[in-house]
């Protein structure tokens, strides 16, 4: 194949491609050498039909409708590469015959009933191609397939009767999502799309990512939420619809397709009055997928990805399908005030008066530092900024933090120590083009699914090498070229051993170090203990593997290291993150495309929550609160004196409550009782608070402790911006009105602030979140050029953003973020974990995420489809442990730690080994944090969630296997290289359209209606 | 002291949400609402509103009934024939058809006004008439139509 398998997130540098001349329809034109001819044709407006071609998928070559003549011979323009001097014709008779023959074959597989089809929204490829070719009639009569519709998946349906076998879905699944579930058996008498080689979706390895539906050029694959909701007639009784279709088909020989298409296009235009398409950014993980959300009144029709800079056509099950929580029946719609042993509905006025009164009283009696504020990683940047402004400028305290404290702060610390900026050094484009990816403590395919697709694709198609270090054999580990299973909490050891081995064997980039990195001697000395022998004894990783890692880094030339909670949620999380960055510096893996450090942010806006100042020691843009000049700037702008000393972080706030120093908490969008470690300890703290305000979209577990509960609006009900893990700032637009009396968080914070501010001149007057962003830009050098205009639509900016709008896709291209422009090694030593297993607590309990659920399930457990797939949590135990303890799937066990106990069902799986166990954190019933202790990272106080030893008591009860039969983890992938169109070409009934005389279809004329 | 309290948020009443939006609507859409009220009143007086109410309420049944009958072969054939006839009519130059109609009008009128006691023309009169240029022109059209009909029945 001439062109294929391009990178998805990376844009070729303009100067890297040669521009060549060629002739098109007798006229001179040009394109980039090697680019798909069809891209040139589309770019210059000489369109040819193209049913299976989709730029992000590349050439599939199944539909044959894009035929052109190149140097006198028929060729598919999707797979033809631009070459100098070629002579291309798109309008000859021969080309016309070939295109129409190809399309007639497609219409044999697809019944056109556009006016009553839910996919008739102006973007249906089959409909539009019928119009573009001005097809009057089809020669081949439509043929039913011998298969039923598959409705077994909770989110989408497959209708084989409408499937044109273009293979876009297969290509997307095999080579973009790289879940490798879909195939087409071209040797079958009646080929169809298959799931794990079979005919049923449920129970296959399909992860419901939605790629196949998004790329389907017709209605064969369709979201169930669209069916019966989109058109004016599509909700009619199915028998009536069938009758109407029959009428049209019977009349059509007299009218041709022209008038019928005109009717359907009119109906499609009418739909635009009711169907709203709004751009938004996903509210789930830190990848920052952006897409259009289609709504009809409050019904969410579908999520339509396309031009998102982080994701393109990619989505995951949550971003594509898990939006039911928006219209959940139990959304908070009115303020609630605690009264006795219940809550009662209150007016906003009443709630705000109570809050203002209590805040004022506590501040007057105990000082401003008696109040604490916890911001949300799910709310917008503007809301984060206003929350810290409320705390600092109105109350007078720096006691503000956000949930990055629970996960990402150690990573930021490690990077701030070594390279100066605690954020991803590049973008997903760098990750996909790197020659080597090392994943440490990240279950990327489940926690950052779309980002993982780029790694999987590069690994499968571009020879990217993959090394994974994790306790658990998850999907990335299965795909890895080298999979390491270190003992818990020993990552710094093998990382430093790799560094030492590289240094001792001439694989360190010493010229880079000399030019760009300080404190080399200190670092070198600190590596002395980390011999191969020591590393092997401590970590359990064979010395040969440590050597291999060093050699792979050396050989690759460009390496990215990705990490997540498996690294950060340890007492040495900051040190491990530092060790990672040290290794990257030693091997010269900064300052170039395809290199760098990538702590993967877990939530949609955990990056932004910190970037915009919701931290106890910084203002927006990481400007220090104890820096006089910085503070003076904010004081001048806000018109108030600001607190000087660093405030309390989340964990310190809990301690301060126990000590009687913190009397009040205002928590926005965070379920602290289930997110923080040692839930029993947090429970005791909350019970002693004098006054607590919780602001959320649902009545969370934390709301149970509140004195006032405020109803907030989720992302679809407001404007704002998020920052993803790439440092990419993106806009979200309001698609729906707030439900009931709920309000966007920024409006609520402003209302509270204005109740507390007595000086009329200082009252806040933000009319729109863009006003807040303008203030941020004014006060924050790294955001100086951020404006809503520059973020219009799908545009984005990667901070730092200069005043002229120039952003920074790759950090450190000129220098590092230290005064002398150099990075610095930061030596770290290794310490034993806080909790080793003991005679009593003899099992290690790892914990983390699941693909289909998010956090404690507040949003995803309100999705019936996801609940059906994964209704309950479970405990993964190894087959050897199951045998030893006499356990089988579904058996209940009690897990005990020194801090608490829970009851859970077991799932026996080889994803874990030996005495390692794993439990997802995605539940509030029997939550994992009842077991975790109060150990924290030494530098940042991030709870050491991963350092947990437990005792397991087998209970007599047993239940069903906690993983339902239709869960994708039961499936078996069927990997192949794309759609394998060569097998279609080998079929006896196939010939290249236009290559035979009878391909000229006399009934189809080229005149327009 | 804040002991945790479990609380079941009352289910959203969609009617209250609509009431809230309805309460805001008059201010936002005052002029349009006034015109709409006038339209409704007139439609009600004319009985159109009742008819529309019935039609909208029975949308499914109405479409089902129509589809049930229209899908019968006799109906679809009638539709197709109607389209064919419409095409035929559309293919005729209106000026030609007008001339034909105008030229046929006097003889048709004459036939209609025929007195049964009027003298029958002689054979010679009829042959002379048929031999006229106008008659031969008319025969040309008629025989061409016949030939076309015969061809289509092959």
- What's the pLDDT tens digit per position in A580-611? 999 999 999 999 999 999 999 999 999 999 99
The C-alpha R_g of chain B, in whole angstroms, comes to 35
Q: For residue A683, which of A927, A896, A957, A480 has the smallest C-alpha distance?
A: A927
Exposure string of A141-170, with b = 16+ CB inside 10 Å and e = fewer, is eeeeeeeeebebbbbbbbbbbbbbbbbbbb
If asked whether residues A421 and A512 sit together in one domain, one would say: yes
Which of the listed residues A720, A744, A762 is the one where a domain comes to its end? A762
What pLDDT, on a 0 to 100 scale, did the predictor assign at position B116? 64
A692·B8 Cβ contact <8 A: no
- Cβ atoms A623, A406 nearer than 8 A: no
A342·B5 Cβ contact <8 A: yes
Phi/psi region, residue A886 (left: phi>0; alpha: psi -120 to 50; beta: rest), is left
Q: For residue A390, which of A607, A613, A662 has the smallest C-alpha distance?
A: A613
Angle between helices A573-586 and A491-504 (to 10 degrees): 20
Residues 59-88 of B with CB under 8 A from A: 59-60, 63-64, 67-68, 70-71, 73, 76, 79-80, 83-84
Residue A2 banded pLDDT, cuts 50, 70, 90: very low
Q: State how far the Cα of A662 lies from the Cα of A659, in Å rounded to an integer.
A: 8
The Cα of A244 is separated from the nearest Cα of chain B by a number of Å equal to 6
Q: Which of B1, B4, B19, B82 to mutate to test the interface with A (most CBs of A within 10 A)?
A: B4
- Chain A residues whose C-beta sits inside 8 Å of any chain B C-beta: 233, 236-237, 239-240, 243-244, 246-247, 250-251, 253-255, 329-333, 336, 338, 341-343, 345, 683, 686-689, 692, 698-699, 701, 703-707, 737, 739-740
Q: For residue A192, which of A200, A182, A184 has the smallest C-alpha distance?
A: A184
Q: How many CB atoms lie within 10 A of CB B128?
A: 12
If asked whether residues A696 and A747 sit together in one domain, one would say: yes
- Cβ atoms A753, A640 nearer than 8 A: no
What are the pLDDT digits (tens) for A731-788?
999 999 999 999 999 999 999 999 999 999 999 999 999 999 999 999 999 999 999 9
Q: Is residue A240 classed exposed, middle or buried when 0-12, 13-18 and 19+ CB atoms within 10 A define those classes? A: buried
If asked whether residues A461 and A595 sit together in one domain, one would say: yes
What pLDDT, on a 0 to 100 scale, did the predictor assign at position B1? 59
B64·A239 Cβ contact <8 A: yes
pLDDT at A674 over 60: yes
A185 within domain boundaries: yes
Q: How many CB atoms lie within 10 A of CB A16?
A: 7
B83·A250 Cβ contact <8 A: no
Q: How many CB atoms lie within 10 A of CB A474?
A: 23
A698·B9 Cβ contact <8 A: yes
Angle between helices A769-779 and A628-638 (to 10 degrees): 140
Spatial neighbors of A878 by CB under 8 A, at least 6 apart, are: A908, A909, A910, A912, A913, A914, A915, A916, A917
Residue A31 banded pLDDT, cuts 50, 70, 90: very high
- Cβ atoms A67, A74 nearer than 8 A: yes
- According to DSSP, the β-strands at A73-76 and A156-158 are unpaired
Q: State how far the Cα of A651 lies from the Cα of A470, in Å rounded to an integer.
A: 27
If asked whether residues A448 and A554 sit together in one domain, one would say: yes
Question: At A318, phi and psi to the nearest 5?
Answer: -75, -50
Owning domain of residue A883: 843-969
A124 within domain boundaries: no
Q: How many CB atoms lie within 10 A of CB B96?
A: 10
A858 within domain boundaries: yes
| Measured CA distances, A216 to A172, A219, A930 (Å) | 10, 7, 45
Domains identified in chain A, total number? 5
Q: Which residue in chain A is spatially nearest to B13 when comparing CA positions?
A: A329
CA atoms within 13 A on the CB side of B69: 5
Along the 154 residues of chain B, how does pLDDT read in single tens digits? 578 999 999 888 777 777 777 787 777 788 888 888 888 888 888 888 877 877 777 788 888 888 887 888 888 888 888 888 888 888 888 888 887 788 777 776 766 776 666 678 888 888 888 888 888 888 888 888 888 888 878 7
A784 within domain boundaries: no
Q: State how far the Cα of A25 lies from the Cα of A668, in Å rounded to an integer.
A: 62
What are the pLDDT digits (tens) for A529-585?
999 999 999 999 999 999 999 999 999 999 999 999 999 999 999 999 999 999 999
Q: Which residue in chain A is spatially nearest to B81 when comparing CA positions?
A: A254
What pLDDT, on a 0 to 100 scale, did the predictor assign at position A165? 97
Residue A3 banded pLDDT, cuts 50, 70, 90: very low
If asked whether residues A586 and A724 sit together in one domain, one would say: no
What pLDDT, on a 0 to 100 scale, did the predictor assign at position B90? 85
Question: Helix or strand or coil: residue A83?
Answer: coil
Entry field: residues in chain B: 154
User: Partners of A484 in the beta sheet?
Assistant: A469
Residue A66 banded pLDDT, cuts 50, 70, 90: very high
Return the percentage of chain A with pLDDT > 70, whole number. Answer: 98
The DSSP symbol for A210 reads: -
pLDDT at A1002 over 70: no
pLDDT: which is higher, A519 or B80: A519
Tell whether B90 lies on the interface with A, counting CB pairs under 8 A: no
Average pLDDT, chain A: 95
Return the percentage of chain A with pLDDT > 90, whole number. Answer: 90
Residue entry with tokens 């069809």: A38
CATH of the domain at A385: 3.40.50.740
Residues 99-138 of B with CB under 8 A from A: none
Which ranges of chain B would DSSP assign to H, the alpha helix? 14-28, 30-45, 48-57, 59-70, 73-91, 94-112, 123-130, 133-152
A179 within domain boundaries: yes
CATH of the domain at A988: 3.10.20.740
| Measured CA distances, A837 to A449, A677, A686, A832, A948 (Å) | 32, 19, 30, 12, 8
B16·A740 Cβ contact <8 A: yes
Q: Which residue in chain A is spatially nearest to B1 when comparing CA positions?
A: A688
What is the count of residue pairs from A and B with beta carbons less than 8 Å apart? 91
A330·B9 Cβ contact <8 A: yes
* Lookup: tokens for A74: 């028929």
Which of the listed residues A553, A577, A599 is the one where a domain comes to its end? A599
Torsion of CA B88, B90, B92, B93, to 10 degrees: 180
CATH of the domain at A470: 3.40.228.10
If asked whether residues A545 and A422 sit together in one domain, one would say: yes
User: Partners of A895 in the beta sheet?
Assistant: A902, A952
Residue A1007 banded pLDDT, cuts 50, 70, 90: very low
A247 within domain boundaries: no
Q: State how far the Cα of A955 lies from the Cα of A453, in Å rounded to an integer.
A: 40
- Distance between alpha carbon A812 and the CA centroid of its chain, in Å? 25
B84·A254 Cβ contact <8 A: yes
Question: At A795, phi and psi to the nearest 5?
Answer: -70, 155
DSSP A506-566: T-S-HHHHHHHEE-HHHHHHHTTT--HHHHHHHH---HHHHHHHHHHHHHHS-EEEEE-HH
* Lookup: tokens for A103: 């399309």
- Cβ atoms A667, A695 nearer than 8 A: yes
If asked whether residues A75 and A222 sit together in one domain, one would say: no
Which of chain A's residues have a Cβ under 8 Å away from the Cβ of B73? 250
User: Which among A240, A342, A686 has the least Cβ separation from residue B2?
Assistant: A686
The DSSP symbol for B121 reads: P
pLDDT at A25 over 80: yes
pLDDT at A508 over 90: yes
B9·A255 Cβ contact <8 A: no
A39 within domain boundaries: yes
A254·B11 Cβ contact <8 A: no
CATH of the domain at A862: 2.40.40.20
Which of chain B's residues have a Cβ under 8 Å away from the Cβ of A236? 59-60, 63-64
Which of the listed residues A574, A599, A624 is the one where a domain comes to its end? A599
- According to DSSP, the β-strands at A691-696 and A708-711 are parallel
If asked whether residues A717 and A616 sit together in one domain, one would say: yes
B16·A706 Cβ contact <8 A: no
If asked whether residues A727 and A648 sit together in one domain, one would say: yes
Question: At B112, phi and psi to the nearest 5?
Answer: -65, -30
Tell whether B17 lies on the interface with A, counting CB pairs under 8 A: yes
Q: For residue A204, which of A859, A972, A781 has the smallest C-alpha distance?
A: A972
Of A113-117, A301-305, A433-437, where does mean pLDDT reach its minimum? Answer: A113-117
A74 within domain boundaries: yes
If asked whether residues A203 and A69 sit together in one domain, one would say: no
If asked whether residues A496 and A621 sit together in one domain, one would say: no
If asked whether residues A595 and A610 sit together in one domain, one would say: no
Tell whether B12 lies on the interface with A, counting CB pairs under 8 A: yes
Which of chain A's residues have a Cβ under 8 Å away from the Cβ of B76? 247, 250-251
A687·B9 Cβ contact <8 A: no
What are the pLDDT digits (tens) for A35-50?
999 999 999 999 899 9
Predicted TM-score (pTM) of this structure: 0.91
pLDDT: which is higher, A301 or B134: A301
């Amino acid at each position: 194949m001439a062109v294929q398998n391009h990178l998805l997130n990376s844009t070729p540098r303009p100067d890297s491609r040669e521009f060549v001349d060629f002739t098109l329809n007798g006229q001179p034109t040009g394109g980039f050498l090697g680019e798909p001819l069809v891209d040139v044709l589309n770019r210059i407006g000489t369109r040819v039909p193209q049913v299976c071609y989709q730029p992000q998928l590349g050439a599939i070559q199944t539909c044959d409708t894009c035929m052109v003549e190149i140097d006198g011979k028929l060729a598919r323009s999707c797979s033809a590469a631009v070459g100098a001097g070629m002579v291309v014709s798109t309008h000859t008779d021969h080309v016309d015959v070939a295109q129409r023959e190809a399309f007639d074959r497609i219409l044999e597989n697809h019944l056109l009933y556009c006016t009553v089809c839910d996919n008739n929204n102006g973007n249906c490829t089959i409909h539009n191609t019928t119009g573009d070719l001005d097809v009057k009639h089809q020669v081949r009569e439509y043929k039913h397939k011998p298969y039923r519709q598959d409705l077994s998946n909770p989110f989408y349906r497959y209708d084989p009767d409408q499937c044109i076998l273009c293979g876009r879905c297969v290509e997307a699944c095999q080579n973009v999502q790289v879940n490798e579930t879909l195939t087409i058996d071209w040797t079958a008498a009646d080929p169809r799309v298959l799931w794990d080689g079979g005919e049923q979706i449920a129970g296959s390895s399909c992860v419901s990512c939605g790629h196949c539906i998004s790329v389907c050029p017709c209605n064969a694959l369709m979201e169930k939420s669209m069916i019966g909701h989109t058109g004016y007639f599509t909700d009619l009784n199915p028998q009536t619809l069938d009758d109407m279709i029959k009428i049209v088909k019977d009349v059509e020989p007299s009218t041709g397709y022209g008038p019928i298409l005109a009717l359907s296009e009119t109906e499609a235009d009418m739909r635009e009055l009711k169907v709203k398409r709004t751009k938004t950014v996903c509210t789930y993980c830190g990848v920052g997928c952006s897409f259009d959300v289609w709504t009809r009144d409050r019904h969410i029709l579908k999520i339509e990805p396309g031009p998102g800079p982080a994701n393109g056509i990619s989505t995951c099950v949550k971003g594509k399908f898990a939006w039911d929580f928006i219209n959940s029946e139990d959304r908070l719609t009115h303020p609630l005030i605690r009264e006795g042993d219940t809550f009662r509905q209150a007016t906003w006025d009443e709630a705000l008066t109570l809050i203002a009164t209590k805040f004022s009283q506590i501040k007057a009696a105990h000082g401003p530092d008696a109040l604490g504020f916890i911001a949300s990683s799910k709310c917008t940047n503007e809301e984060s900024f206003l929350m810290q402004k409320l705390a600092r400028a109105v109350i007078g305290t720096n006691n503000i933090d956000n949930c990055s404290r629970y996960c990402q702060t150690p990573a930021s610390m490690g990077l701030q120590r070594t390279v100066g900026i605690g954020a991803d050094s590049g973008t997903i484009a760098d990750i996909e083009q790197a020659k080597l990816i090392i994943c440490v403590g990240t279950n990327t395919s489940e926690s950052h699914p779309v980002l993982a697709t780029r790694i999987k694709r590069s690994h499968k198609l571009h020879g990217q090498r993959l090394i994974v270090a994790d306790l658990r054999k998850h999907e990335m580990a299965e795909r890895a070229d080298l999979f390491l299973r270190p003992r818990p909490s020993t990552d710094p050891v093998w990382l430093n051993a790799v560094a030492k081995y590289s240094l001792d064997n001439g694989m360190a980039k010493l010229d880079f170090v000399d030019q760009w990195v300080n404190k080399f001697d200190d670092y070198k000395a600190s590596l002395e203990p980390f011999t191969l022998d020591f590393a092997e004894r401590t970590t359990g990783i064979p010395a040969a593997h440590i050597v291999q890692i060093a050699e792979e880094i050396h050989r690759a030339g460009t390496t990215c290291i990705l990490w997540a909670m498996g690294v950060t949620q340890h007492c040495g999380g900051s040190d491990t993150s530092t060790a990672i960055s040290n290794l990257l510096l030693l091997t010269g893996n900064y300052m170039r495309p395809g290199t760098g450090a990538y702590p993967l942010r877990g939530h949609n806006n955990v990056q932004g929550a910190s970037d915009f100042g919701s931290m106890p020691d910084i203002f927006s843009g990481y400007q220090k609160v104890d820096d006089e000049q910085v503070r003076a700037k904010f004081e001048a702008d806000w018109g108030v004196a600001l607190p000087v000393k660093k405030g309390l972080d989340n964990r310190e706030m809990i301690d301060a409550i126990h000590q009687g120093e913190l009397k009040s908490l205002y928590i926005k969008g965070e379920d602290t009782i289930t997110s923080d470690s040692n839930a029993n300890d947090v429970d005791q703290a909350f019970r002693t608070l004098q006054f607590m305000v919780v602001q959320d979209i649902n009545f969370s577990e934390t709301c149970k402790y509140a004195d006032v509960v405020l109803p907030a609006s989720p992302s679809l009900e407001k404007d704002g911006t998020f920052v993803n893990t790439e440092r990419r700032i993106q806009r979200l637009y309001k698609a729906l009105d707030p439900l009931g009396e709920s309000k966007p968080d920024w409006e609520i914070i402003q209302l509270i602030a204005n109740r507390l501010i007595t000086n009329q001149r200082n009252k806040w007057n933000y009319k729109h979140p863009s006003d807040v962003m303008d203030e941020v830009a004014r006060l924050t050098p790294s955001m100086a050029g951020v404006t809503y205009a520059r973020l219009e639509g799908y545009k984005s900016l990667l901070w730092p953003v200069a005043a002229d709008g120039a952003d920074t896709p790759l950090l450190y291209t000129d220098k590092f973020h230290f005064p002398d422009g150099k990075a610095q090694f930061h030596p770290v030593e290794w310490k034993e974990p806080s909790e080793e297993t003991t005679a009593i607590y003899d099992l290690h309990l790892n914990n983390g995420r699941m693909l289909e659920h998010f956090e404690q399930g507040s949003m995803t457990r309100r999705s019936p489809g996801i609940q059906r797939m994964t209704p309950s949590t479970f405990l993964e135990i190894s087959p050897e442990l199951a045998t030893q303890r006499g356990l089988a799937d579904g058996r209940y066990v009690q897990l005990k730690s020194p801090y608490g106990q829970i009851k859970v069902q077991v799932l026996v799986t080889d994803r874990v080994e030996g005495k390692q166990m794993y439990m997802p954190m995605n539940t509030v019933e029997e939550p994992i944090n009842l077991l975790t202790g109060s150990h924290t990272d030494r530098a940042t106080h991030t709870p050491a969630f991963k350092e947990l030893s437990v005792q397991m008591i087998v209970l007599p009860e047993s239940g069903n296997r906690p993983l339902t039969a239709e869960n994708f983890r039961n499936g078996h992938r069927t990997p192949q290289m794309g759609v394998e169109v060569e097998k279609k070409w080998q079929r006896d009934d196939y010939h290249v359209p236009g290559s035979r005389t009878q391909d000229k279809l006399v009934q189809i004329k080229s005149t327009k209606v | 002291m804040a002991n945790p309290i479990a609380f079941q948020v009352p289910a959203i009443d969609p009617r209250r949400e609509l009431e809230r939006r309805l309460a805001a609507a008059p201010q936002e859409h005052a002029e349009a609402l006034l015109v709409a009220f006038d339209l409704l009143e007139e439609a009600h007086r004319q009985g159109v509103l009742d008819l529309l109410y019935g039609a909208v309420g029975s949308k499914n049944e109405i479409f089902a009934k129509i589809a049930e009958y229209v899908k019968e072969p006799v109906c679809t054939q009638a539709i197709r024939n109607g389209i064919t006839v419409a095409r035929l009519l559309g293919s005729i130059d209106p000026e030609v058809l007008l001339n034909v109609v105008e030229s046929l009008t006097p003889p048709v009128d004459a036939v209609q006004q025929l007195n049964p006691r009027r003298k029958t023309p002689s054979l010679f009169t009829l042959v002379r008439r048929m031999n006229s240029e106008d008659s031969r022109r008319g025969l040309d059209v008629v025989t061409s139509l016949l030939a076309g009909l015969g061809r289509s029945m092959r």
